[in-house]
Amino acid sequence: MSDSDRQASSGCTGGCPNCGSLRDCDAAAGGGLTGWALAGSAACMFLLPIAAAAAGAGIAGGGKTRQFVGAMIGLLAGLVVGVLAARIIGRSPKEKS
């Protein structure tokens, strides 16, 4: 029987040390990105690779094969830069110093 099933069957409101529901909530709540850090990280991981793929296809010139290869190279470069930028944006103030 899980903690939530035990809690539902006994009418328990939670918060006592007998089950792990309080510990689970505390562990899940900490450490996430919020606000501008979340928005910036999402833009780096989603918008930057798409823009880089479009730029790569445009720079590659005419021909479907060249555009495809340019888009894939741009997408890969955008993903690498996006991951690095998201890691920098998502660092805590303690890690930045």
Rg (CA), the chain: 23
If one counts the domains in the chain, the total is: 2
Q: What is the pLDDT of residues 67-81, one digit of tens each?
A: 999 999 999 999 999
Residue-wise pLDDT tens digits, 36-58 = 888 888 888 999 999 999 999 99
Nearest to 81 by CA among 58, 40, 48, 53: 48
More confident residue, 33 or 3: 33
The H or E element containing residue 27 is: helix 21-29
Residues 46 and 78 in one domain: yes
Is residue 96 domain-shared with residue 55, that is, in the same domain?
yes
Domain range enclosing 11: 1-30
Per-residue pLDDT, 71: 96
Whole-angstrom CA distances from 80 to 20, 43, 44, 54, 57 are: 39, 13, 10, 16, 17
pTM above 0.85, yes or no: no
Task: Tell me what pLDDT residue 67 has.
Answer: 96
The mean pLDDT of 79-91, rounded to a whole number, is: 88
Are 25 and 68 part of one and the same domain?
no
Judge if 90 and 71 occupy the same domain.
Answer: yes
Question: Does residue 63 sit in the same domain as residue 18?
Answer: no
94, 78: one domain: yes
74 and 63 together in one domain: yes
